[in-house]
Chain A
């Protein structure tokens, strides 16, 4: 029984990983791609790790995925935030569909405060 649940979780995780990668290819600019990369890939990888945990139980193999899962959930948003901030500071253009950019408007103000 636990094998079946584990396989189902792994399949769900793989499906969302696939959507995340498809988003990386289809979406227009860095920021939108990061959205797909953080959300889908985080959840997909968490699904795969949870599936391994369900299949293995409380054993040598089973507890390591839980630690990886906690670390992924804590670190993926932070890295996305850092990459998007660095991209904006390096003046990488937003996609043409973009309708508003409040960060650009306030940027001079922020730079002044940093110095």
Chain B
């Protein structure tokens, strides 16, 4: 019960900040502010209980790992873009696509979501489906190097798995 209230308050504050930045900066208007409060309240009531699912302690090391993760992700996104640009302008279109299976040790929903999103934004790979009970993910790989499960896990998920484990679990 308490965790749901906490989650709703967080959603209210976040959506109100977003609304405030979009409408209020530069021109301050009471009417729009009231509408923003009402709409944030409705959002918090309707969809507020899914943001925070479980309790956990605050750790300073998590901030450090989050910064590492963002830098790593940006670097991988830039690499991914040059990879796709190279594939697209190459006259022979050197692709070897396929769907491979990888294993993951993550358990929480947030961790799995972030891992799937990171895999989609990194070079040549895209998450198709997750089997949460078995801890398996199906990845579409544009340039398949190996079909073995363990080697594919090392090549695709290994870049992010450790760092996401530190942040979300």
Contacts and interface: CB of A to CB of B under 8 A. Distances in A.
Interface residues of A, number: 46
B26 A100 contact: no
Contact of A103 (B85, B99, B121): B99
Contact of B88 (A26, A74, A78, A101): A26
A31 interface: yes
B21 A67 contact: yes
Nearest to B142: A35
B131 A16 contact: no
A97 interface: yes
B129 interface: yes
B129 A103 contact: yes
Interface of A: 16, 19-20, 22-23, 26-29, 31-32, 34-36, 38-40, 42-43, 59-60, 63-64, 67, 73-74, 77-78, 80-81, 84-85, 88, 94-95, 97-104, 106, 110, 113
Nearest to B101: A102
Interface stretch (B2-10, B35-43, B75-83): B75-83
Most A C-beta atoms less than 10 A away, residue of B26, B98, B131 = B98
A84 B128 contact: yes
B87 interface: yes
Contacts of A103: 99, 101, 128-129, 138
A77 B77 CA distance: 12
Interface of B: 18, 21-22, 25-27, 77-78, 80-81, 84-85, 87-89, 93, 95-101, 116-117, 120-121, 124, 126-129, 131, 133, 138, 140, 142, 144, 147
| 3 closest residue pairs by CB, A with B | A77-B120, A100-B98, A60-B26
B124 A35 contact: yes
B97 A16 contact: no
Given A67-B22, A84-B126, 17 more contacts: A20-B84, A22-B88, A31-B97, A31-B128, A35-B124, A36-B84, A38-B126, A39-B77, A42-B77, A43-B77, A64-B21, A81-B120, A81-B126, A81-B127, A97-B96, A100-B98, A103-B99
Most B C-beta atoms less than 10 A away, residue of A29, A59, A60 = A60
Nearest to A19: B85
Given A39-B80, A97-B95, A97-B97, A31 B126 contact: yes
A13 to B, nearest CB: 10
Contacts of B133: 113
